[in-house]
Structure 1
């Protein structure tokens, strides 16, 4: 069940990205709408990711043990 869910989610993401490229090339109106929705969802995901992080400047303070 989880594989089907994530496969569907991946298909939606790929479809959105294809619509973004197609809209840049002058696609039909429905493609531009899907592209705008996809870009809006990406902007919301980035904003949620930024607000979920702790720290002020966004740089990682962890060190690597090589």
Structure 2
């Protein structure tokens, strides 16, 4: 079940990236919409990772 979910996510990511490239070359209106959503979700994921890494509680990964 997890493999199916990961495959679906992978297809969505690859499709979104293709739409971003196509929109940059002047694709149809729906492609520009999908590209905008893809870029917005990418920004959310990056900002979420940044917040988590900055407020990580000071764990330096040492054994001590």
TM over 0.5: yes
Whole-Å Cα distance in 2 between the matches of residues 36 and 4 of structure 1?
26
Deviation per residue, 1:21-60 (Å, 9 max, x gap): 00000000000000000000000001000000136xxxxx
Q: Which runs of 4+ in 1 moved over 4 A?
A: none
What is the match of residue 29 of structure 2? 29
Q: Unpaired runs of 5+ in structure 2?
A: none
For the aligned residue pairs, the C-alpha RMSD in angstroms reads 1.6
Count of paired positions: 58
